[in-house]
Structure 1
Amino acid sequence: MKVLHVAPLNVAGVPYLIADMQRRFGVETTLVTLHRSTLTFPEDICLDLPLPRHKLAHWWRTHKGGQPKPIERYEPSTESHTPVHSPRNVFEDVYFRYDDRRRERAVEEAIERYNLDKFEVIHYDGGMDFFRDSRTAKRWKASGKKIVCHYLGSDLRVRGIVPEMDALSQLNLTNESDHLLLHRDIHYLYIPFDTRPYVACSGHSGPLRIVHSPTNRSMKGTAFILPVIEAVKKVRDVEFVLIENTRHEEVLRIKQTCDIAIEQIGNLGGTGYGRNSLETLAMGIPTITEMTPDYRAWLPKNPFVLASRDTLFDVLLRIIDHADLRAEYASQGRTWVQQYHSYESVHARLQELYCEHHIL
C-alpha cells in the first residue's frame, strides 16, 4: 500500500508521526506539507508556500472563528452541528482565490517531480486539498484513489469542513475528542507516539520547576494559569518555566529539566491533551490538565492530574508537597502512553478503520 499524507502544516509534528508510524510497518508513505513549520518538526517534502506570519495574520487566523468557548459536553454530534468552512467576507474570498492561483505552478511541479500520482491512498491531515476548490482531490478520487480526511488541532473548531472534501472522503479521523461533537461521521484515533527516544527525568537540585508550553495562549487557558502560579510562588519555593515560540529540540531539552507540567486549563482549545502532554508523560513528568466529566469517564484510566481554574492552586500545592505522589503519577504516565499511543496499537486501529471503510 502506498499512502500520501498532505497537510497544510506539520501541526505539532503529528502528521509526520502518523506517516512515520505507517513506515515502521512497511507502508510506503510520504508527507507533503504546504507551509514550513517554525518549530522544526521533521518533514518529508515541504512546498514552502508563502504563509503570512505577521501579528495581524496570526490574530486573524486565531480569532476569525470567534473567541474560544469552554467545551461543556462530550458526545457525538449531528450533521446540523458540523461547522462549514467558507470565506468570511469578500476580502478573504479574494485572498483565497489569489493564493490558490499563485501556488498552482509549485503544486503541479511537485506532483510531477515526486510522482505523487503513484500513491493509492491520499490521507489529508487537516481535511484540506492543495487548493481550496479541492481540484487535486477530485482528480485523484476520479482516478480511483482512496480519500481520507484527518482533522487535527482546531481544524473543526475554528475552520470547519470543506464541503467538497467531506463529500470525497471515505473515512474521517480525528485525534481531538471534542471533534466528535462537531462531525456526524468521524472516528477517534490516538496520536501515535514512540516513547523510546524519551527518557525519564533524572532530577535536579534547587526548587521544583513547573513548565507550561502553549502554542496558543488563548486555547490553553494561559491567562488562568499565570495568576495561580504567582500565588503558588508566594507560598512555595518553585520556579515557573513558560516556553513559547521555541524550536522543538530546545523545548524537549527544557522539559527534561522540569518536575511538573501544566497542559491546559479551561477546555478552550480541546478537552484534555495533545503531543505536548505525551512528551511530558513519556519523560515521567506529572502533567496537569482539565477535562470535562464526560471526557474523563470516556478516557481509559488516564494518568493526568486533573484541575480546573478553581482548583489549580490546591492541586499544585498537593503535587509540590508530596514527592511520592509525583513518583506515582510519573510511573503511570509513561506506562499509559505506551499502552494507548504506541505505534503498534494506533497502527492496528488505523488498519481496522481502513478495512471497515474499504480503504484497503
Structure 2
Amino acid sequence: MPARAERPLRVTFCPVNTAGVPWASVQALRRREVDARLVVFERYKLHPEADWSLEIPRDSPLLGRQARQWAALARLLPRTDVFHFVFGLTLVPQSLQFPLLRAAGKKSVMHYLGSDIRGKTPDQLAYGRKADTQIVGSYDATRWVPEAEVIPPGIDLARIEPAPRSERARPLIVHAPSHRGRKGTEHVIAACAELDADLELVEGLHHADAFERYRAADIVVDQLNAGWYGLFAIEAMALGKPVVTFLHDEAVRRTEEAFGTRVPIVNATKETLRDRLRTLVSSADERRRIGAASRAYVEQVHDLERTTDHLLAVYARL
C-alpha cells in the first residue's frame, strides 16, 4: 500500500457481523490506532455490535436496499483506505464493487468465514479473486480458496479467564448448534442419551448469555459434519473446556505444522462420538488435561493480538 500522510490507516469492515468476528477485529485494530469501523446491512440478534447499521433486512424491497447501499458506499469512499468484506458479501453488487474501488484507488479484502464457501465450486467463488487479497480462517478452508491467506479467528483472551473446575457428579455436555442439521445435533442427542451425563442445547441466546452456558460445561461438542471447528469451540477452549468435533486430518496436519503446536480437540464422527464422549465422561483428569491443552492452544493460535498482527501485515502488503 502506498505511503500515506500522518493520518492512521482507515479500514471499513462490512457488511455483516457474522459470529462477532468482524467486530472483534475492529476493536483490536482501534487499539493499534487504526481508524476502523464496522458497517452492517442489519444488526444480528446474536451479535448486534456495529458502528453503523443500514437497517435493510434481507426481505426489504430491492430498490430500497440498493439505494441505501449505494448511499453508504458514497459516504464511506472518501473516509476509507481498505474495504474489508466479510462472509462473501460486498456493500454493492460484486460486479460493480471491485471495479469501482480500483478506480477510486481503494484496496479491498475478501474474508471468508467458513459456511460462506463450504461446498462451493471455483466458479461460484471466482468473484473473491477480484479483491486485492483473500483471507480464510483455517487450513481446512483452503480446499475451496487455495490462494487465500490463513488468519484464524481471534478472540480477546484478556477478557476470558479459564472456568473453575466443576464438582458435579454428572458431567454437563454443552452443544450450541446454529443449525441442528448442519451441526449433527441429532447424533449428539443420541450419543448423550447413552451416557451418565447431562446434555444442554444452547440455542437462540444472545452471545453474552450463551457464553455463560459454555462456562458451565464440563465437555463441549461443536459439530460432526463440517470438518473443522468454529468460534463456539474456540471460546470453549479458551475457557479450558475439552472440545469434541469432527476434523479433517489434512487440516489438522497443516495447522500443527504452521503453528508448531498440537490441535487438542477430540476428533469424532457420528459413529465414534459416543465412545469419545464416554472416555471424557468417565475421567475428570482427562477432561482437565485436555482443557489445559486447549487453553494453551488458543493462546498460541487464536489470540486476538496475534491475529491482528497478521492482519496488519496483510494490509501493509496491499
Q: Smaller-chain TM-score range?
A: 0.7 to 0.9
Is residue 200–residue 282 contact of structure 1 (8 Å, CA) maintained in 2? yes
Distance in 2 between residues matched to 1:10 and 1:334, nearest whole Å: 25
Deviation at 1:173, TM superposition (A): 0.5
Three-state SS of the structure 2 residue aligned to 1:29 is strand
Is the alpha carbon distance of 1:183 and 1:132 closer, same or farther for their aligned partners in structure 2, counting shifts above 3 Å?
same
Matches within 5 A, 1:278-293: 278-293=234-249
Q: Which amino acid in structure 1 is aligned with residue 11 of structure 2?
A: V
Between 273-282 and 167-176, the greater mean CA deviation after superposition? 167-176
Q: Is the deviation greater in 341-350 or in 200-209?
A: 200-209
Q: Is this contact kept in 1: 2:280–2:287, CA < 8 A?
A: yes
The alignment partner of 1:244 has SS state of coil
What are the within-5 Å matches in structure 2 for residues 242-257 of structure 1? 242-257=201-216
Q: Does 1:180 align with 2:134?
A: no
**CA separation of 1:137/1:217 partners in 2, compared to 1, >3 Å: closer, same or farther?**
same
Determine the structure 2 residue equivalent to 1:15: 22
Aligned to 1:327: 288
**Which residue number corresponds to residue 199 of structure 2?**
240
Conserved in 2, the CA contact under 8 Å of 1:141 and 1:168?
no
Query: Would the aligned equivalents of 1:195 and 1:282 in 2 still touch at CA under 8 Å?
Result: yes
1:231 aligns with 2:194: yes
2:157 counterpart SS class: coil
- 8 Å CA contact 1:200–1:284 kept in 2: the answer is yes
Query: What is the distance in 2 between the residues matched to 1:192 and 1:309?
Result: 28
Determine if the alignment matches structure 1 residue 169 to structure 2 residue 131: yes
Query: Structure 1: how far apart are the matches of 2:159 and 2:177?
Result: 22
Report what 2:162 is aligned to.
200
Distance in 1 separating the partners of 2:239 and 2:145: 34
Secondary structure of the structure 1 residue equivalent to 2:89: coil
> In structure 2, what is the equivalent of residue 4 of structure 1?
12
Q: Given the alignment, which residue of 247, 252, 263 partners 2:222?
A: 263
Counterpart of 1:354 (choices 291, 309, 315) is: 315
Q: Is the 8 A contact 1:127 1:162 kept in 2?
A: no
Say if 2:73 and 2:91, in contact at 8 Å, map to a contact too: no
Are the counterparts in 1 of residues 140 and 248 from structure 2 also a CA contact under 8 Å?
no
Gaps of 5+ in 1: 53-94
SS of 2:193's equivalent in the other structure is helix
Find the partner of 1:210 among 167, 170, 173.
173
Q: Judge conservation of contact 1:263–1:287 (CA < 8 Å) in 2.
A: yes
Query: Residue 275 in 1 paired to residue 234 in 2?
Result: no
SS at match of 1:256: helix
Closer, same or farther in 2 for the Cα pair 1:175/1:2, shift >3 Å? same
SS at match of 2:192: helix
The amino acid across from 2:263 in the alignment is N
Partner of 2:5: none
Spell out, residue by residue over 1:128-149, the C-alpha distance to the aligned partner (whole angstroms, 9 max, x if none): 2223344344322211001111
TM-score normalised by L of structure 1: 0.78
Question: What is the CA distance between 1:188 and its match in structure 2?
Answer: 1.2
Q: Counterpart of 2:20 in structure 1: which amino acid?
A: G
Write the distance in 1 (CA, Å) between the matches of 2:310 and 2:32.
Answer: 13
Q: Structure 2 unaligned runs (5+)?
A: 1-8, 257-261
Identity %: 25
Q: Is the 8 A contact 1:204 1:257 kept in 2?
A: no
Distance in 1 between residues matched to 2:216 and 2:32, nearest whole Å: 33
Deviation at 1:184, TM superposition (A): 4.5
Question: Residue 65 of structure 2 aligns with which residue?
Answer: 103
Q: 1:308 aligns with which of 251, 266, 269?
A: 269
Q: 1:32 Cα shift? A: 0.8
The higher relative CO (CA closer than 8 Å, separation ≥ 6) is in 1
Inter-CA distance 148–328: structure 2 relative to 1 (3 Å threshold): same
Q: What is the one-letter code of the residue matched to 2:217?
A: C
| Aligned-residue CA RMSD (Å) | 2.2
Superposed CA deviations along residues 94-113 of structure 1, whole A, max 9, x for unmatched, are: x9xx62x221332244345x
Aligned residue pairs: how many?
303
Distance in 1 (CA, whole Å) between partners of 2:95 and 2:206 is 32
Q: Contact 1:171–1:186 at 8 Å: present in 2 too?
A: yes
